[in-house]
Amino acid sequence: MAALAAAMSDASRMKILCALMDGRAWTATELSAVSDIAPSTTSAHLSRLLKANLVTCLSQGRHRYFRLYSASIAALLENMMGVSFGAMQPPKTRVPAELQRARTCYDHLAGEIAVGIYDYLFANAWITSDGNALTPLGKAQFSQLGVMLDAKTKRKKCCACLDWSERKFHLGGHAGAALFQCFEQQGWIEKVPGYREVTVTAKGQAAFSQYFGLANVLN
């Protein structure tokens, strides 16, 4: 734990990790720009993060891309954001509206809309009481929505992920990632390139109201 904390205990490295929270793979040059540090310094920071298994490197041709090592690292960062935010200012009052409404939490949806969806899943028995699994009804409903679930996934199939801005749960794990992918493919949401904010399209607003009863949240 001390070694992990030491690897994260640098403002520039935290900027790099936070940039990677959008779920994409970034080049060192892109991370250098977003972190506002020199390329040589970025390389040193990435080396430290790689050694600590906080990020992983993917090579494609002549290019090297970096992304978070795993969903568990993303969950740790999301929780740290919530702790640090709560320690420095009153909850929710200064959260940017775009981030509060909808954002990525690595590869699944977070924010007010995601919490509303989780509440609907729980109230209608699509997920178990602890949020760790889809019920048979939930699996059937996901299938009707067009959500593609992998029965052989080695990842946690479903989990309740604490949302740092809402202080309530949103859906994480494989089910959360599959649901997010479905929303994108259906054209209900759109990622903001280079940022964690997610935009809900007009089609998405109608769909979220129809399927998850989110009319009050969307207005």
Architecture per CATH, domain 2-68, reads as Orthogonal Bundle (1.10)
Cα–Cα distance measured from residue 99 to residue 82, given in angstroms and rounded to the nearest whole number:
13
The domains of the chain are located at 2-68, 72-218
Contact 114, 121 (CB under 8 A): no
DSSP string, 8-36: H-SHHHHHHHHHGGGS--B-HHHHHHHHT
- What is the chain's pLDDT, residue by residue, as a tens digit (219 residues)? 898 999 999 999 998 998 888 777 888 988 998 888 888 899 999 999 999 999 999 887 778 889 899 888 888 887 787 676 655 554 444 567 777 889 988 889 999 999 999 999 999 999 998 889 999 999 999 999 999 999 888 888 898 887 877 878 899 999 999 999 999 999 999 988 767 889 999 999 999 999 999 876 666
| Cβ-based neighbours of 19, under 8 Å, separated by 6 or more | 26, 31, 34, 35
Burial class (CB in 10 A: 0-12, 13-18, 19+), 10: middle
* DSSP at 163: P
